[in-house]
Amino acid sequence: MIDDDFDAGLLQQWVGKTEVLHDVVRPETAAALAATLDYPDAPRAGEPLPPLWHWTNFYAIAQQSQLGEDGHPKRGGFLPPVPLPRRMWAGGRFVFHAPIPVGSSVARTSTIRSVSAKEGSSGRLVFVTVRHEISRDGQLAITEEHDIVYRGMPTPGSAAPPPKPAPLNPRWSRTIHPDPVLLFRYSALTFNGHRIHYDRTYVTEVEGYPGLIVHGPLIATLLVDLVRREVPGVEIAEFRFRAVSPLFDIDAFSVCGEPAADGKTIKLWAQNSRGELAMEAEAILHAPPLCQYNLRHLPD
């Protein structure tokens, strides 16, 4: 059933809309993110920014009076005015063309690629896909496609979708304790005012979740970070991820990886403490021989 205020034709008018933002990759921001991810050292000026760390740039800046109840800018600016209250990162796809040095000036051209609606088991869903092209000094550095999903509030007594089990026996695994401080610091670094990440009263009483929600981009960054920790010096050529179910600050979760035999592809996923899949991802490497070397020397 389509809500009275749902105008599919209006939302389609946003397809093709573009915006261009400019920023500088600041060393102090890179140092703050390194500390948040628990790295003792941060990339210095002139050194390449690690993959996905560009999410600390290109803030969506809105005046306080222009924020919605959920803490995001009110809809109808660059993003279409989808009349559904919940919004989440659904996934993303990346191609890393060239490094972005810390200290460099960068530009991001964003385009609304598609807006689509469907009926899911939990009600109406609207998906918005945004394409970002990020360049520095006129050279294309990153191509990113960002999927956003909007949904309604859960109806009383509605059953949650059945969980999907995560793969067993990963080669690599790291446990993450997503306390409110970690979520607050990442929200601050990305200038993300979405209340689901820091306002427990709002997220539990208004949106009906059991705890603070771990940012999808933070989980994706931790998956890429797992590759960097396990294969130092590796260069990632492509990365893609898809959110499956949310993770909350009330429980630890794990980021896991399984290198493929081709030495080029790494299967990645995040799972909650019950072994249920939260995010699935894949990284494709630039330098297979380096990965093959590490695979030969990993313990069984």
Q: pLDDT tens digits, residue range 68-82?
A: 888 888 777 888 989
The strand order across the sheet containing 18-24 reads 18-24, 105-120, 123-136, 139-151, 86-96, 236-243, 277-285, 265-272, 253-259, 172-176
> Is residue 6's pLDDT more than 60?
yes
Measure the CA–CA gap between 200 and 210, rounded to whole angstroms.
9
Measure the CA–CA gap between 117 and 125, rounded to whole angstroms.
6
Of residues 297 and 211, more confidence is placed in: 211
Note the pLDDT of residue 288.
Answer: 56
Lowest mean pLDDT among 31-35, 76-80, 173-177, 215-219: 76-80
Query: Phi and psi for 11 in degrees, rounded to 5?
Result: -65, -35
Start-to-end CA distance of the chain, whole Å, equals 53
pLDDT band at 167 (very low <50, low <70, confident <90, very high): very high
pLDDT band at 201 (very low <50, low <70, confident <90, very high): very high
DSSP 294: H
The length of the chain, given as a count of residues: 300
pLDDT digits (tens, 9 = 90+) for 93-118: 999 999 999 999 999 999 999 999 88
Note the pLDDT of residue 180.
Answer: 96
Q: State percent of the chain over pLDDT 70.
A: 91
Task: Tokens 């997220």: give the residue.
Answer: 203
Q: At what angle do helices 27-36 and 180-189 cross, to 10 degrees?
A: 160
Q: Give DSSP secondary structure letters for 125-190.
A: EEEEEEEEEEEETTEEEEEEEEEEEEE-PPPTTPPPPPPPBPPSS-SEEEEE---HHHHHHHHHHT
Lowest mean pLDDT among 14-18, 119-123, 263-267: 119-123
* pTM score, whole prediction: 0.90
Measure the CA–CA gap between 19 and 16, rounded to whole angstroms.
10
Q: At what angle do helices 180-189 and 216-230 cross, to 10 degrees?
A: 100
Query: Between the CA atoms of 104, 109, 110 and 113, what dihedral angle is there, to the nearest 10 degrees?
Result: -130
